[in-house]
Amino acid sequence: MRVFIANFGQENYEWPVCLERGTVATMNAVDEQALWEQGKREEYILSRMQGKTAAGLTPTRPVAARWYNLMTIISETRGDVWIHRDGERLYWTISNAEPPEFVRKVEPVGRKREVVVCHKSCDAWSDRTRTGSHLLWRSLHAKARDFLSTEATLQELKEDNAQYALALINGDDLSPWHDRQLWRNKEEKAASNYSEVKSYSRRQMVAYRVAEERMAETALKTTQQANAQQTTQRTKNKEFRFASKIELEEHIVGLLELQENLCALTGLPLEMDEKDGDKEFFCSLDRIDSDGHYEVGNLQIVCRFANRWKSADDDDEFRRLIEHVRSY
């Protein structure tokens, strides 16, 4: 049994329908849905890469491939647990064997595209545990709040977090997790008004703003230092091809939205510059082509450790190796 955390459309517009009907959902533009239905994965990816997001960015291949997979996951889910946060309430359901239903509609928000929405039948959504207790966001352990909500379209929980989510839903004893030192430390920080900032909608918060400025400043300094080096071996110039640091910061915001706050290389959730956060998961600006410049189309946001591991290696080759690691 897999456990997913999910949202349903831009600004979560399809959630009221999902709640009423007892479904989970995702959507594609009409033309791209036709490619998905025909199983034309490569054509689908290329089509999405030729378009633009609401922020005016061109999707990368990994992002476009992820969008293709989302429709497959939703349409084929069966016996999986789905969790959704709605303000102060946490809802859950289990998908069933009924075939998906595809509905054509015009999006009520954003670009108001004509889309095909896939609704997959589930049990009625519930905001209570199996023992009848309310599932309230403010009542959750601080550590649990890290992974029981997402800005991404959907995210499958890792085994340990999935087991916690199932125990929570069942109303079971949660002390095996809460008694862990890491969990106790997290709760202590929360009690002292510390909270991590992972939401794009809250980007004006200090941690988010610091992260944007840090990445832009690092890019600017890197180009200046590289181009100022005087060595016996010729150093390739790294050009800063933005009008200003502020323009790059705005581009970074768009990339974070495009990537749904996930590392472009590993798919792991990115962390911002939170106080006492895990610095290895802090977001880091990476040049896709390490021999290229700091410019639109050659940048992605990754976890700091992934950027360090990749170094100047070829992007495709590094992704291949990451997939090998995942397979084991």
Question: What is the model's pLDDT at position 194?
Answer: 44
Domain total in the chain: 2
The set of residues, in sequence order, having a beta carbon less than 8 Å from that of 166 and lying 6+ positions away, is 1, 3, 81
Question: What is the model's pLDDT at position 275?
Answer: 67
pLDDT at 60 over 70: yes
Do 35 and 113 contact (CB within 8 A), yes or no? Answer: no
The CATH number linked to 250 is 3.30.40.220
Question: What is the model's pLDDT at position 290?
Answer: 87
Q: Which of 147-161, 215-229, 237-251 has the lowest mean pLDDT?
A: 215-229
User: Among 191, 214, 243, which residue terminates a domain?
Assistant: 191
Residues 49 and 166 in one domain: yes
Task: List pLDDT tens digits, range 265-310.
Answer: 988 888 887 766 788 989 999 999 988 898 888 899 999 999 999 9
Residues 174 and 230 in one domain: no
Residues 161 and 298 in one domain: no
Q: Which of 55-64, 149-158, 227-236 has the lowest mean pLDDT?
A: 227-236
Residues 26 and 152 in one domain: yes
User: Among 121, 156, 191, which residue terminates a domain?
Assistant: 191
Given pLDDT bands bounded at 50, 70 and 90, which one contains residue 231? very low
Task: List pLDDT tens digits, range 86-136.
Answer: 999 999 999 999 999 999 999 998 888 999 999 999 999 999 999 999 999
User: Among 170, 191, 212, which residue terminates a domain?
Assistant: 191
Residues 174 and 108 in one domain: yes
Residues 185 and 101 in one domain: yes
Question: Model's pTM, two decimal places?
Answer: 0.77
In which domain, by residue range, is 91 found? Answer: 3-191
Task: List pLDDT tens digits, range 160-202.
Answer: 999 999 999 999 999 999 999 988 888 887 766 544 434 444 4
Three-class SS string for the chain?
CCEEEECCCHHHCCHHHHHHHCEEEEEEEHHHHHHHHCCCHHHHHHHHHHCCCCCCCCCCHHHHHHHHHHHHHHHHCCCCEEEEEECCEEEEEEECCCCCEEEEEECCCCCCCEEEEEEEEECCCECECCCCCECEHHHCCHHHHHHCCCCCCEEECCHHHHHHHHHHHHCCCCHHHHCCHHHHHHHHHHHCCCCCCCCHHHCCCHHHHHHHHHHHHHHHHHHHHHHHCCCCCCCCCCCECCCCHHHHHHHHHHHHHHCCCECCCCCCECECCCCCCCHHHEEEEEECCCCCCECCCCEEEEEHHHHHHHCCCCHHHHHHHHHHHHHC
Do 10 and 109 contact (CB within 8 A), yes or no? Answer: yes
Q: What is the mean pLDDT of residues 236-248?
A: 81
Residues 122 and 29 in one domain: yes
Residues 241 and 300 in one domain: yes
Residues 41 and 143 in one domain: yes
Q: What is the mean pLDDT of residues 220-247?
A: 69
Residues 48 and 112 in one domain: yes
Residues 160 and 15 in one domain: yes
